[in-house]
Amino acid sequence: MTKIENILRVDASGRKSGSISRKLASHTVDQLAANGAVQVHNRDLSEGLPFVDESWIGANFTPADKRTDDQKTKLAFSDSLVDELETANTLVISTPIYNFGIPAALKAWIDLVARAGLTFKYTESGPVGLLEGKRAIILLASGGTPMGSEIDYATPYLRHALKFIGITDVTFLAADGLGQDADKKIESALKAIEELD
């Protein structure tokens, strides 16, 4: 029986038309599909996400068996995002760098999936991620922030946030510094994607 790779694709760009990060993600999914059977679930963060607020925090920190119906409803969307992550073998995140960091929508998504008891747990030696055995491929696009530079706050944050929930096999590929030689840098990123297995 052919093993199916479950891919969760998360797009964070506010742009749909002409988005370089989305183009890189599409190329990545195509490359993974060329290597075997895949099933892709798409989560487009530009369609809107709720932000964590007081009632969400109250519901989240109430033991599951003691939550009211309203609290369960408040957490339902977050629960569905966690289910998507748990089902996936591979996480493909496409994101631009906005003002040296990640878009607010991607931060909101992380806030909604970093759930004690679901995606990480507290231990005597500190928090431990629960989503082990998955890999993440992060596709970045930026106009003037080079990946790995001292003004890049996106990649170290994403690496740490994913490690926090147990995902340590993380690959970053970027079309960065697109303010100059954009076509050449995009082509280079596409070629790097074609080397993924």
Sheet of strand 38-44: strand arrangement: 38-44, 5-11, 90-96, 135-141, 169-175
For tokens 């747990």, name the residue: 121
Beta bridge partners of 27: none
End-to-end CA distance of the chain: 20
| Whole-angstrom distance, CA of residue 72 vs CA of residue 74 | 5
| Whole-angstrom distance, CA of residue 66 vs CA of residue 165 | 25
- In order of their start, the domains of the chain are 5-193 (3.40.50.360)
What does the pLDDT read at residue 2? Answer: 54
Q: Any alpha helices (H) in the chain, and if so which ranges?
A: 20-34, 54-60, 69-87, 104-113, 154-164, 182-193
DSSP state of 65: G
Tell me how far apart the 2 most distant CA atoms of the chain are, in Å. 57
What does the pLDDT read at residue 116? Answer: 95
Profile the chain (197 residues) by mean pLDDT over runs of 10 residues.
83 95 96 90 96 97 96 98 97 97 98 97 96 97 94 97 98 91 92 90
For residue 135, give the amino acid letter: R
Question: Whole-model pTM?
Answer: 0.94
What does the pLDDT read at residue 1? Answer: 45
| Whole-angstrom distance, CA of residue 133 vs CA of residue 26 | 23
